[in-house]
Amino acid sequence: MNIVGLTTSSADRKRRAGQRMVIGISGASVTAEEREWIKACQPGGFVLFGRNVEEPAQVLELNRELASLLPKDLPPIRCVDQEGGRVQRVKAPATVWPPMRWVGNVDDVKFTTAVGRALGREVRALGFDLDFAPVADVDSNPKNPIIGDRAFAAKADATGRHAAAFVRGMQDEGCIACAKHFPGHGDTATDTHLGLAVVEKDPPDLEQVELAPFRACLEAGVATVMTSHVIYPAWDEDYPATMSNKIVRGILRRKMGFRGVVFSDDLEMKAVRGRYPLEQQLTEASAASVDVFLLCKELNLQVEAFEQLIRLQETDKAQNDAAIDAAKRWHGLREVFLKDPPPRPDLAVLASAAHADLALRARAQGQA
């Protein structure tokens, strides 16, 4: 696998732009228009949702087809949100996992690691390479409409302990984990799918609560992190974390030492969509060292982002350098997880007796 061009040729800029995008498609199969677009932009990866899922064999074949549309030296990283509980894109006959709160309530890190392993096995069996999990947010606000029982716990230490255990289990199975939503979405009262959220806390509280679980995930070796579309005025009064140089580069990269891949949350979410021009979102996020942008459904937005990412490299040396850095990190992720992966599990692991037993224990011992 080659690093996407580290020169400044037009072809390299175009390739780097596509590689910085993880895109979604509209349905359970690839349309002719989508197939043409994928071949043109050569995205870094794909993300599937419930609208793309009929049954496991179809998901596996869809993932195979998506990979076949791209050059062999640029294999896509195929992604899914398979957290358990409310956020599980592939349901029965895959294991129907309970919310991670119930797993956290069992309060046995060996058990949490086993759950991470099992989820990683099932995700890879379905043809995915990366699971956008675990949620490393602390469920500290009872009025939070979007996190709640997706979090392992309502306390920072327990959240960090179990999120880190989950990361270790999942990545031991060769499945890329992603700690989200940095630097913490747990103390919001707004769903960022619908509007911009603000966390009004002082830096010491943010350090002790919001950042602590992410620090634990980094210590566990998590390969990727996803940003939140949330404003933290104590750190940055102007931009949500996704667009904040002070938060992503200043805190996650420099202060916490993270060298892996940083994803934006979906750019279709109303916290950012329509609030900031797309060019501004991409410019600020790239300057902040966000590597890859999630564009989960809208083809028109994907096309616009692709064109903007090319243009930014052409007109701004700093943006060109940021794109090269992102290409290096994306290549590094591929080298670790795609170059010599463990054998992909058979679909028979879905809802296996061992996995069903784990889910049953979480329900029996962890249900609040």
| Cα 184 to Cα 232: distance, rounded to the nearest angstrom | 10
The reported pLDDT for the residue numbered 3 is 53
For the stretch 18-61, pLDDT in tens is 999 999 999 999 999 999 999 999 999 999 999 999 999 999 99
Per-chain mean pLDDT for the chain: 95
The reported pLDDT for the residue numbered 271 is 85
Neighbour count for residue 246 (Cβ, 10 Å):
15
Neighbour count for residue 304 (Cβ, 10 Å):
16
| Cα 274 to Cα 150: distance, rounded to the nearest angstrom | 27
| Cα 228 to Cα 242: distance, rounded to the nearest angstrom | 6
The reported pLDDT for the residue numbered 1 is 45
Cis peptide leading into residue 93 (ω within 30°): yes
Alpha helix ranges (H) inside the chain: 10-19, 32-41, 56-68, 100-106, 109-125, 156-172, 203-205, 211-219, 278-287, 299-315, 317-337, 353-366
- Close Cβ partners of 116 (under 8 Å, ≥ 6 residues apart): 134, 165, 166, 167, 168, 169, 170, 172, 173, 177
Domains along the sequence of the chain with CATH: 10-301+319-366 (3.20.20.300)
The residue-averaged pLDDT of 159-169 equals 98
Sequence letter at residue 161: R
Q: Is the pLDDT of residue 368 over 80?
A: no
Specify the range with the lowest mean pLDDT, choosing from 29-33, 243-247, 270-274. Answer: 270-274
For the stretch 96-118, pLDDT in tens is 999 999 999 999 999 999 999 99
For the stretch 332-359, pLDDT in tens is 999 999 999 999 999 999 989 999 999 9
| Cα 33 to Cα 287: distance, rounded to the nearest angstrom | 32
Task: Quote the percentage of the chain above a pLDDT of 90.
Answer: 91
The residue-averaged pLDDT of 228-235 equals 95
Distance of CA 42 to the CA centre of its chain: 19
Q: Is the pLDDT of residue 278 over 70?
A: yes
The reported pLDDT for the residue numbered 156 is 97
Distance of CA 29 to the CA centre of its chain: 22
The residue-averaged pLDDT of 133-155 equals 94
Q: Is the pLDDT of residue 6 over 80?
A: no
Active-site residue numbers? 193, 265
| Cα 356 to Cα 368: distance, rounded to the nearest angstrom | 19
| Single pTM value for the model | 0.95
Specify the range with the lowest mean pLDDT, choosing from 77-81, 141-145, 253-257. Answer: 141-145
The reported pLDDT for the residue numbered 189 is 75
For the stretch 293-338, pLDDT in tens is 999 999 999 999 999 999 999 999 999 999 999 999 999 999 999 9
For the stretch 60-101, pLDDT in tens is 999 999 999 999 999 999 999 999 999 999 999 999 999 999
